């Protein structure tokens, strides 16, 4: 596979950068846990009716500190809650307010992993309290001992996963009694018991504990050593079988963490568990940027057709609408762009499927009277007419109503609409939309709006791709979070080079080195990129992202789109759809509702 050049501004992590197995995650012995339990007045977390907070901070199996406070909930404690917890309204009269208790707890738990039994309940109330107080929730890692117990323990061991049941099963020193600190202390022993159980199954890091599921078999977990040589960098990973055949290709901003999840985390896709069972090794390709990783993934899938990538059989499943090159051109749906543009062919798209392509054809033919019949027509012979010819919706070359010269204005109008000027299609279709809306025929108007939008979307995408494909060289840069730069060289719509420029240095020498080493790319035939169309689409998405700028001297010609192209029409249609109206209003007309 042709390689994407990488500049000298970034040192690529070696595949052996991981020094030990512990580097696969944060060892549990290094993790500080805060085990928390709440007593509440019931109701929803939005009410934040917290009456008591109890928490225990532990590390490496040892208790470091404890936290306990009653909380004035601001609402009466229901009688059945008072009976259950023993916390009465009189006990809470002088209790700290929510505004005092929550900041104190968050300070106690700062930087720690939160653990709770049925964590969604307790964490939900804590989040609700933060919302009520206008305080940001710190988004800690959360471990739910109830969920973990359901994944670890069998039904013949415990009849249920209630806290009291688990406390007895693990011989907890404290019996839970519906008071926050006692329940938190019991949960500490439950947590330690569960950690001991999963430790025997090969779970030794926080990341593995947080994602543990019994659906990952011991055999899968034993393969986690395959992640040892994977770098912690953006890039692409390839799962291979014993024969070295690629099974699956993926990408990630954090290769090591992502690959590790296949061996330790829940995977809902059953085919992925099967794939991991066949895996003998994992190869990783570190990339300079996220865009490079995306492009490499696309190319590898197209080249290797891994059987566990759903898109591998048809990496480019798009279709195009083609204005054919013949005596009397027509519109046709095709799978690829051929080298017949010089012969008069023109293309619209690509589209993700035939449905939008057919809608675009209907929009075009409503505005421009191209023939709709599919049979070849001869300038010297006539054929039976169709219904559209009889009602004046077609130029009717089939019956000799026009000759090749007379039909050519229709063809040129269609070619303009496809390539650089959508005004005629826009005008005709918007007039139709407004007429239908004026007659309150909103459903019919919405159908024609959808057809016009399908045409505009296909034309806009095709015009953007054609403009990018025409550029022999384009260099663009975007600042990184650490004030460096990610730089890409694009040639004829294909990513030819990528690099990172570290912060604080002059980027020009690095860019010059990248330009010198970037892949040479020849232009393709027609308005298509030299690489995959999807690759060009990803490049365009990156170029349109925030703060991207073109590097001076890196553009050989002006990069521009047609002044009357489809981009503006598409943006107006999308805005109208978001506003729930069926048409683009004229400047002197108010918006009409969609229904």
Q: Which strands, in side-by-side order, build the sheet including 319-323?
A: 331-334, 319-323, 346-351
Q: How far apart are CA 111 and CA 103, in angstroms?
A: 14
SS3 559: coil
Give DSSP secondary structure letters for 172-215: -SS---S-HHHHHHHHHHHHHHHHHHHHTTT--BHHHHHT--TT
Residue 492 backbone zone (phi > 0: left; psi -120 to 50: alpha; other: beta) = left
Helix 404-419 crosses helix 423-438 at what angle (to 10 degrees)? 80
Compute how many other C-beta atoms are within 10 angstroms of the C-beta atom of residue 561.
Answer: 16
- φ, ψ at 255 (rounded to 5°): -55, -50
Asked if residue 542 lies in contact with residue 289, where contact means CB atoms within 8 angstroms, the answer is no
Q: How far apart are CA 417 and CA 419, in angstroms?
A: 6
What is the DSSP pairing of strand 319-323 with strand 346-351? Answer: antiparallel
Compute how many other C-beta atoms are within 10 angstroms of the C-beta atom of residue 451.
Answer: 22
Asked if residue 124 lies in contact with residue 36, where contact means CB atoms within 8 angstroms, the answer is no
SS3 426: helix
- Cα 438 off chain centre by: 40
Give DSSP secondary structure letters for 55-109: EEEEETTEEEEEEEEE-B-SSPPPHHHHHHH---TGGGTTSPBHHHHHHHHHHHT
Q: How far apart are CA 353 and CA 317, in angstroms?
A: 7
**Set 178, 192, 254, 564: catalytic member:** 178
Give every CB contact of residue 519 below 8 A, 6+ residues apart in sequence: 2, 3, 4, 5, 491, 494, 496, 497
Which sign does the torsion angle of CA 341, 345, 349, 355 carry?
negative
Q: How far apart are CA 427 and CA 449, in angstroms?
A: 12
Active-site residue, 492 included: no
- φ, ψ at 536 (rounded to 5°): -60, -35
CB < 8 Å & 24+ apart, contacts of 380-385: none
SS3 27: strand
Q: What are the C-alpha distances in Å from 558 to residues 168, 256, 470?
A: 75, 41, 10
Helix 354-367 crosses helix 442-469 at what angle (to 10 degrees)? 100
Q: How far apart are CA 539 and CA 537, in angstroms?
A: 5
**Residue 224 has which token pair?**
């986690």
Q: What is the DSSP letter of 421?
A: B
Give the residue numbers annotated as catalytic, written as ranges: 178
């Amino acid at each position: 596979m042709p390689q994407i050049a990488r500049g000298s501004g970034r040192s690529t992590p070696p595949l052996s950068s991981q020094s030990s197995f512990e580097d696969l995650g944060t060892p549990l012995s290094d993790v500080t846990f805060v085990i928390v339990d709440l007593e509440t007045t019931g109701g929803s977390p939005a009410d934040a009716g917290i009456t008591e907070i109890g928490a225990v901070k532990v590390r490496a199996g040892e208790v470091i500190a404890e936290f306990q406070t009653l909380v004035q909930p601001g609402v009466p404690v229901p009688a059945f809650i008072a009976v259950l917890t023993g916390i009465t309204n009189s006990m809470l009269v002088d209790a700290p307010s929510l505004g005092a208790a929550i900041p104190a707890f968050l300070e106690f738990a700062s930087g720690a992993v939160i653990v709770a039994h049925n964590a969604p309940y307790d964490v939900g109330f804590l989040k609700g309290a933060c919302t009520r107080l206008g305080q940001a929730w710190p988004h800690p890692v959360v471990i739910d001992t109830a969920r973990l117990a359901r994944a670890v323990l069998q039904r013949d061991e415990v009849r249920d996963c209630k806290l009291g049941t688990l406390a007895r099963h693990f011989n907890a020193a404290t019996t839970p009694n519906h008071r926050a600190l006692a329940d938190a202390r019991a949960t500490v022993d439950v947590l330690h018991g569960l950690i001991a159980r999963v430790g025997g199954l090969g779970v030794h890091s926080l990341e593995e504990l947080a994602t543990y599921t019994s659906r990952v078999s011991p055999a899968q977990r034993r393969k986690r050593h395959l992640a040892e040589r994977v770098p912690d960098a953006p890039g692409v990973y390839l799962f291979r079988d014993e024969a070295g055949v690629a099974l699956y290709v993926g990408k990630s901003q954090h290769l090591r963490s992502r690959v590790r999840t296949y061996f330790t985390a829940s995977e809902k896709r059953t085919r992925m568990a099967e794939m991991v069972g066949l895996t003998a090794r994992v190869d990783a390709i570190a990339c300079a940027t996220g865009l490079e990783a995306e492009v490499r993934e696309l190319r590898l899938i197209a080249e290797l057709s891994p059987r566990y990538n759903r898109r591998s059989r048809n990496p480019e499943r798009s279709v195009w609408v083609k204005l054919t090159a013949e005596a009397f051109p027509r519109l046709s749906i095709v799978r690829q762009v051929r080298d017949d543009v010089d012969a008069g062919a023109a293309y619209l798209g690509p589209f993700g499927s035939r449905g939008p392509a057919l809608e675009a054809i209907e929009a075009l033919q409503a505005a421009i009277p191209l023939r709709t019949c599919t049979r070849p027509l001869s300038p010297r012979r006539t054929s039976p007419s169709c219904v559209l010819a009889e009602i004046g919706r077609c130029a009717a070359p089939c019956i000799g109503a026009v000759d090749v010269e007379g039909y050519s204005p229709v063809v040129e109008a269609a070619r303009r609409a496809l390539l650089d000027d959508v005004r005629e299609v826009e005008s005709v279709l918007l007039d139709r939309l407004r007429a239908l809306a004026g007659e309150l025929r909103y459903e019919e108007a919405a159908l024609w709006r959808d057809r016009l939008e399908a045409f505009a979307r296909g034309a806009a995408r095709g015009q953007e791709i054609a403009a990018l494909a025409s550029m022999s060289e384009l260099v663009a840069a975007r600042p990184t979070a650490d004030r460096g730069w990610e730089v890409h060289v694009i040639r004829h719509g294909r990513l030819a080079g990528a690099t990172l420029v570290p912060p604080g240095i002059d980027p020009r020498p690095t860019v010059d080195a990248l330009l010198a080493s970037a892949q040479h790319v020849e232009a393709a035939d027609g308005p298509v990129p030299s690489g995959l169309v999807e690759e060009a689409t990803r490049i365009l998405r990156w170029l349109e992202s925030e703060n991207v700028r073109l590097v001076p001297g890196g553009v050989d010609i002006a990069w521009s789109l047609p002044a009357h192209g489809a981009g503006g029409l598409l943006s107006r249609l999308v805005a109208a759809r978001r506003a729930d109206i069926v048409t683009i209003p004229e400047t002197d007309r108010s918006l009409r509702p969609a229904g």
